[in-house]
Structure formats: C-alpha cells, structure tokens
C-alpha cells in the first residue's frame, strides 16, 4: 500500500457499531420491513457482526503475512503452486458475493514462504470490497514485491452473484482473470505448464 493510500485509509472515520446497526435498520425499513418484528429484532446486530467477518481483510496486512520467509531452498528451482484456493468475496459495485477459486504460483529466487501464507493472502484480499481484476493484481503484486521471486502467476475463476442473482441473471457463467509476472510472463513454456497444472 502506498503511503498516500495508507494516509487516506487512516483519515477515514469508522462509524460506531451502534451507527452501523442503525443503518441496517434503515435499510430494512426502506425494503418495506418492520425491524421490530420478532424475526428481525436482532438482525441489525447479526448483520453488523457478519460484515466484520466478510470484510476482515481491511484489518490485515498481506505483506506482513509474507514477511516470515525461509532461505533454505537447497537448490530447488521450479514453481511452487497452490491451486483451488476457495474464497468468498464481495463485489464493490453491488456488495454481492463473489464465490470462486484462486490458483497461485511463484518461482522462488532467494526466499520461500509457508504455503498456507499463499492461501492467507487470497483471503485477505477477498475479504474486502473489490473487483476480481483488482484482487488478481493485488495478490500478484504483493508476492512479487515481498518475496522478489523469479515470477508469479495468479488465475482466479469465480461466480459473481451480482450477475447470476440480479441483472442479466446468467447462473452458469464464470469469470476468469489472470496475472503473469517475471518468468510466467516472459517464458511461454513456463506459463503453459502452469496452466496445464491448474486444469
């Protein structure tokens, strides 16, 4: 995150929990509901707690997750791939769920990282309001910037419920995005081998 974006984030004032719950109550009334009826009395509080879980990525630092590295790769010279990392996110345009899988690979140079960290950074960026394109780029950028590998490859395949549940209502469609850096971008054979491994 650039200093400018960090300062901008710091300057945002986060409303209190009570204000958030009151906002949910307003939305329920706007939808035509009575927030005081039995089934909805605790919904504003529950929905606010759910938001904390959905968007926990705002309080996490992906670069920090990758900061604990190991240099004992002992001559290993190939890609490290974690595929089919399941995630749920929310689109920044409709706050509708995005449900998909990410495939993340990097080719170590001097540093390696625990493989669970790759899944963790997918979750960090997924648990924010985002676009799939930005999420793909952010995962690729943080691995490239932090681990300084020979290359990074990220492919995300996801269902956008803003497209399947509303709007055009295409329930069987999926969206695929990719980011290739370093050897995955410049070496066709390396990129092709990665794509074959995730099929």
Residues designated catalytic: 91-94, 132, 160, 162
Print the SS3 string covering the chain.
CCHHHHHHHHHCCCCCHHHHHHHHHHHHHHCCCCCCCHHHCCHHHHHHHHHHHHCHHHHCCHHHHCCCEECCCCCCCCCEEEEEEEEEEEECCCCCEEEEEEEEEEECCCCEECHHHHHHHHHHHHCCEECHHHHHHHHHHHHHHHHCCCEEEEEEEEEEHHHHCCCCCCCCCCEEEEEEEEHHHHCHHHHHHHHHHHC
- The label of the residue with tokens 């710091």 reads 10
- The label of the residue with tokens 């690979």 reads 105
In this structure, are strands 80-91 and 129-130 parallel, antiparallel, or unpaired? parallel
């Amino acid at each position: 995150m650039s200093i400018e974006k960090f300062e901008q984030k710091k300057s945002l004032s986060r409303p209190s929990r009570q204000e958030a719950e009151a906002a949910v109550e307003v939305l329920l009334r706007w939808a035509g509901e009575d927030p005081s009826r039995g089934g909805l009395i605790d919904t504003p509080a529950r929905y606010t707690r759910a938001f904390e879980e959905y968007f926990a990525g705002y309080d996490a630092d992906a670069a920090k997750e990758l900061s604990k590295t190991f240099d004992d790769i002992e001559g290993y010279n190939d890609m490290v791939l974690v595929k089919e990392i399941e995630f749920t996110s929310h689109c920044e345009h409709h706050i509708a769920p995005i449900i998909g899988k990410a495939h993340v690979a990097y080719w170590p140079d001097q540093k390696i990282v625990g493989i669970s960290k790759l899944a963790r950074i997918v979750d960090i960026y997924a648990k924010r309001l985002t676009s799939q394109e930005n999420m793909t780029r952010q995962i690729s950028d943080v691995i490239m910037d932090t681990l300084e590998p020979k290359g990074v490859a990220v492919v995300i395949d996801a269902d956008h419920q803003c497209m399947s549940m509303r709007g055009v209502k295409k329930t069987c469609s999926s969206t695929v995005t990719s980011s290739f850096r370093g050897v995955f971008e410049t070496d066709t054979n390396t990129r092709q081998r990665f794509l074959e491994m995730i099929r």
